[in-house]
Amino acid sequence: MKVTVVGTGYVGLVTGTCLAEVGNDVLCLDVDPEKIRILNEGGIPIYEPGLLDMVKRNVAAGRLHFTTDVDKAVQFGTVQFIAVGTPPDEDGSADLQYVTAAARSIGQRMTDYKVIVDKSTVPVGTADKVRAAVADELQKRGVAVPYSVVSNPEFLKEGAAVDDFMRPDRIVVGADDDRAINLMRALYAPFQRNHERLIVMDVKSAELTKYAANAMLATRISFMNELANLAEQLGADIEMVRQGIGSDPRIGYHFLYPGCGYGGSCFPKDVKALLKTAKDAAGIDLKVLNAVEEANDQQKHVLTRKIQARFGENLTGKRFAVWGLAFKPNTDDMREAPSRELIADLLAAGATVSAYDPVAVHEAKRIFGDDARIALVDSANAALEGADALAIVTEWKEFRSPDFDALKARLKSPVVFDGRNLYDPAFPRSVGIEYFPIGRL
């Protein structure tokens, strides 16, 4: 099948590449010539395990192409994926200008049947807007060309995106006509494994499914974080509680880890956008979800609270090592990362920081610029040198089994604040480290 993907960001590039991998002819369009240049020269503009090899393989096989030429892109695919960004507006709603601009550019040029697929995470009702934008452009041209609009939300996790696409739990397709449904079934046939993964529904339900999934997951995390804070006060151990409740299959073990708050490009943005949609489109104040957001905003300061309880409010003259800058392991993404809140808090309290992350250091440089109070170093040990204490923010594998004796020797005062509960508390304590995990004593 011939497929065009509009937008070579995270979602678009993974979608286009994985569709090429199963034999489709894919043309990826982006307005940013720099991104297209990188892709055409055999690189990728983002960090995602496994993606670079897959891009190279499919480019070499002649199935995957990149362009900035809109005419060519619209002409090319029967299926046109819209995978452009939907950055949050100031008021928290998703900014749809890039989505509608993509829809309009298709409407301005199409000459034969197209399935226009919303892949970006967009509020309920966006497919209607896309349909209207295309209709408007066709009317301006005075032509009648058939098309369908489909909602096909993505459920990719950063760091596992290729595998999530190639081996999906489910593929949600919201469509109103058989022609589009049949095409989407054919396109996704290679991704079916031992049972049907494709769930066909109406367009609005598909749009809401994406938000409902992320809101439900964010709720689990905020709830566990609240329980962790409570456990700490009561003298209980959240890790034991996690195992105790996770064993109930209705609850399950996945996504039940307390920590220093959720971040990333999806949860914070989608929670905000769903709250906003509920209020604006339905006049409903989602009480649970409001609390989920508030609890997360507070949880991002949990390490600051612990640090100030130990070292005092005023941290002038103190230096803190920070392990982990990305919002989670296996990505360089620092959007809404808890590390940013922690570092801002530490600086505001007068401290300095030496931070290390296995892949996000260049991203941190872009974000922090050349702030003399933040040293971005190239190893976990280098971060410890001359630091008063260590704060762990991201659960990278390489932080999981440190030599605690050596770690203690490098710190001025042997204190570790662990925002991800990486260790059995007995281990660091056995060498005399003061250890502060989340939700356990």
Task: Kindly state the smallest distance separating residue 217's Cβ from ligand UDX, in Å.
Answer: 6
> Using the rule CB under 6 A, is 264 a contact of ligand UDX?
yes
d(Cα 416, Cα 380) in Å, to the nearest integer?
Answer: 13
Residue span binding ligand UDX (CB under 6 A) among the ranges 98-106, 152-160, 345-353, 376-384: 152-160
**Residue choice 54, 74, 256, 416 for contact with ligand UDX (CB under 6 A):** 256
**Residue choice 188, 191, 223, 255 for contact with ligand UDX (CB under 6 A):** 255
> Using the rule CB under 6 A, is 296 a contact of ligand UDX?
no
> Using the rule CB under 6 A, is 414 a contact of ligand UDX?
no
Task: Kindly state the smallest distance separating residue 393's Cβ from ligand UDX, in Å.
Answer: 9
Q: Does residue 335 have a known ligand-binding role?
A: yes
Q: Is 18 a catalytic residue?
A: no
d(Cα 229, Cα 307) in Å, to the nearest integer?
Answer: 15
d(Cα 435, Cα 19) in Å, to the nearest integer?
Answer: 47
> Using the rule CB under 6 A, is 168 a contact of ligand UDX?
no
Host H or E run for residue 436: strand 434-436
From 307, 258, 304, select the one nearest 415 (Cα to Cα): 307
Q: Is 290 helix (H, G, I), strand (E, B) or coil?
A: helix
Cα four-point dihedral sign 103, 104, 106, 107? positive
Q: Which of residues 311-370 bind ligand UDX (CB under 6 A)?
A: 327-328
Q: Which of residues 92-151 bind ligand UDX (CB under 6 A)?
A: none
Residue 93: C-alpha distances to residues 16, 212, 276, 281 (Å): 27, 16, 6, 12
Residue 282: left (phi > 0), alpha (psi -120 to 50), or beta?
alpha
Count of chain residues binding ligand UDX (CB under 6 A): 19
Task: Kindly state the smallest distance separating residue 364's Cβ from ligand UDX, in Å.
Answer: 16
SS3 content of the chain, % helix, strand, coil (to 5): 45, 15, 40
d(Cα 254, Cα 249) in Å, to the nearest integer?
Answer: 10
**Residue choice 16, 174, 263, 324 for contact with ligand UDX (CB under 6 A):** 263
Nearer to ligand UDX, 55 or 337 (CB): 337
With tokens 């990505």, the residue in question is 331
Residue with the shortest CB distance to ligand UDX: 266
Task: Kindly state the smallest distance separating residue 292's Cβ from ligand UDX, in Å.
Answer: 12
Task: Kindly state the smallest distance separating residue 258's Cβ from ligand UDX, in Å.
Answer: 7
**393's tokens:** 């923010």
> Using the rule CB under 6 A, is 37 a contact of ligand UDX?
no
DSSP β-bridge partners for residue 418: 392
End-to-end Cα distance, the chain: 57
Please report, as ranges, the residues that interact with ligand UDX according to CB under 6 A: 154-158, 214, 217, 221, 255-257, 259, 262-264, 266-267, 327-328
Bind-site residues for NAD(+): 30, 35, 86, 121, 158, 269, 335
Bind-site residues for substrate: 155-158, 210, 255-259, 263, 328
Which residues are catalytically annotated?
Answer: 266
